[in-house]
Chain A
Amino acid sequence: MSAIHDFRTSASRNAVIRAIGAAAITSLLTGCMLFAKAPKDLDYSRTRRSEAGLYRGTIHPQGDSIPQGRLQRWTLHLETASGAPIDTASVLVDGGMPQHGHGLPTKPRVTRALGNGDHLVEGMKFNMGGWWVVKFRVNATPGSDSLVFNIKL
């Protein structure tokens, strides 16, 4: 009798403990979610291979951190998969916030080639914190391909 009583007490206590533990973990996760909504495995590298592998691109924002709410000029360095710089290319800039379903607040453009594979990108702006995607659609001698960069503000 006493053994049964002990068992019941122990079982119900374990259930309560598990419930509290689950609640604590859930609340911790929720707390984290509010400030880190982007998927965890995103690659934020500033050098990326294009989607079909035709190009390698490197973005150079001004400074180490990307400011919020201010127009910026970037440099995009563009080269072939084998590392030859590309000066002559048509590059279209696009982007947005995948989790918010909206695009960039501005319409940035590559305004001129700077030589050695560098291209000036003007009109970059990010008006809120979070995960952004910036996509460069490159059309040059090797063909059409897209460079996609993840940006975290």
Chain B
Amino acid sequence: MLRSISLGIVAVTVISAVAAQAGQLAGPRWSSAEREMLRSLSLATLGPMPADPSNRYADDTAAARLGHRLFFDARLSANGKVSCASCHIAERDFQDGIALAHGVGTTSRRTMPVAGTAYSPWMFWDGRADSQWAQALGPLESAVEHGGDRTQYAALIAAHYRDEYEAVFGRLPKLDGMPTHASPASDSTRAAAWRRIAASGQEDISRVYANIGKAIAAYERRIGFTPSRFDRYVAAELAGRQHSAADALSPDEEAGLRLFIGKANCTTCHNGPLFTDNHFHNTAVPPSVDVATADSGRVVGVRQAMTSEFSCTSRYSDAKPEDCEELRFAVTEGEELVRAYKTPSLRGVAARAPYMHAGQLATLTDVVAHYNRAPAAPFGHSELKPLHLSDAERRQIEAFLSALSSPLAAPAGFLASPNAASARP
């Protein structure tokens, strides 16, 4: 009896070995749970863009065209040299490839890419803005990014974009007699100038400023992803089609995918068609040697989002308060927020070194090694556990990540400067 069971196991093992060999030749056999996971990661399951009730101009094409021009206009800065596109370089996936972004000064964070952010409820590494338009307004008045102020920007709109602005947002307010430079969110000189403006004038200027953000958001909202080789691979797998060169993964990439959705636990956070859960995690990333101040991540970011002058519940938002669910139900305190940062999308990740919120890790090899090692957090509690991956397995995961690259998708001309002689379609 025992002998027949043992032989039975041998038979099963031999059959499995043969099947595995055949699988290697014809592509791996994915279980139904694995196939469901592959489907959930595929761009085909992304669905339509969620509405942004806080920006009634989000889907206005004239607003998007204005936003496109503003995004590339370096006059929106203190020195006339910094535009959004200075760090969000269109040809480089709307990022700059350096650890800490440089505007009129140097920031303490890595530039984030733009594509797909219409799907994200929180912007910035710490989620301190709750919409694309609120995000766009942060750098414009930051002392180390654009370095300008809202009064200056309102005057710029009146001088150079009056017709386009008024066609979307209605008449510009009168700006006669306003100080050249004033803002409640800037240095003491400009803050003092701001306080001298009557409340109604302050609101007029801030509304023009908010509308600049809404136009830029209408532009950014239209930047998305085209299917990657991984997406084509999944489509072929799910349809039971033979793989062609355009939709095949190499044996290492397939093995990396299997690890990604299995042993390496990557999909714990990098899930869904954009490979992000849009949430915040402490993953024990080392502090940046180039940033002098401690960075607490989400614990500060959520407070800023809740109290932002341009939040979903602010007077400049077009949403009803009950529409602002992410803000209403945000976790605002607790250990989990300490040094937690947003899960970035992994689409296009291979061409986006350096990595992490301040570019602390130079290569993808370093990133996979970090998650494998799971060191203790500099402070707060890390969610990581050691993965015990072999050198070969780590290389396979890295190989798989390279299959997530693809050109961006956008309306004609939107992936280059509106002033470029040869705007790409």
Contact = CB atoms under 8 A, between A and B. Distances in A.
A140 to B, nearest CB: 23
Contacts of A102: 336, 383
B6 A100 contact: no
Contacts of B13: 20-21, 24
A105 interface: yes
Interface string B229-268: 0000000000000000000000000000000001100011
Nearest to A96: B336
A105 B383 contact: no
A59 interface: no
A123 B9 CA distance: 50
A69 B278 contact: yes
B10 interface: yes
A69 B267 CA distance: 13
A21 B262 contact: no
A83 interface: no
A100 to B, nearest CB: 7
B271 interface: yes
Nearest to A126: B277
Contacts of B272: 68-69
Contact of B267 (A24, A105, A107, A129): A129
Interface residues of B, number: 33
Nearest to A24: B13
Contacts of A14: 3, 6
Interface in A34-78: 34-36, 68-69, 71
A101 B336 CA distance: 10
B325 A18 contact: no
A107 B326 CA distance: 10
What band does the interface of chain A fall in when counting residues whose beta carbon is under 8 Å from B? 20 to 34
A128 B9 contact: no
Contact of B9 (A20, A36, A109, A127): A20
Given A18-B6, A20-B9, A24-B16, A103 B336 contact: yes
Nearest to B270: A128
Contacts of A122: 325, 328-329
A24 B12 contact: yes
Nearest to A34: B262
B336 A127 contact: no
Contacts of A144: none
Contacts of B336: 102-103
Interface in B375-390: 383
B279 to A, nearest CB: 5
A106 B9 contact: no
Interface string A107-146: 1110000000000001101011110000000000000000
A127 B277 contact: yes
B423 interface: no
B48 interface: no
A100 B383 contact: yes
B331 A106 contact: yes
A107 B330 contact: yes
A104 interface: yes
B31 interface: yes
Contacts of A128: 267-269, 271, 277
B170 interface: no
B105 to A, nearest CB: 34
Contact of A71 (B269, B329, B383): B329
A73 to B, nearest CB: 9
Nearest to A28: B16
B330 A106 contact: yes
Given A69-B278, A127-B279, A106 B33 contact: no
Nearest to B268: A128
A17 interface: yes
B34 interface: yes
B337 to A, nearest CB: 11
Nearest to B50: A70
B157 to A, nearest CB: 35
Given A68-B271, A100-B268, A107 B329 contact: yes
Interface of A: 14, 17-18, 20-21, 24, 31, 34-36, 68-69, 71, 100-109, 122-123, 125, 127-130
Given A108-B329, A127-B279, 18 more contacts: A17-B7, A21-B6, A24-B9, A34-B262, A34-B263, A35-B31, A35-B34, A69-B271, A69-B277, A102-B336, A102-B383, A106-B331, A107-B329, A109-B329, A123-B328, A125-B329, A128-B269, A130-B268
17 contacts: A14-B3, A20-B10, A24-B16, A34-B262, A69-B277, A71-B326, A71-B329, A103-B334, A106-B326, A107-B329, A107-B330, A108-B329, A122-B325, A123-B328, A125-B329, A127-B278, A130-B268
8 closest A-B pairs by CB: A123-B329, A21-B9, A127-B277, A17-B6, A34-B262, A106-B329, A35-B33, A127-B279
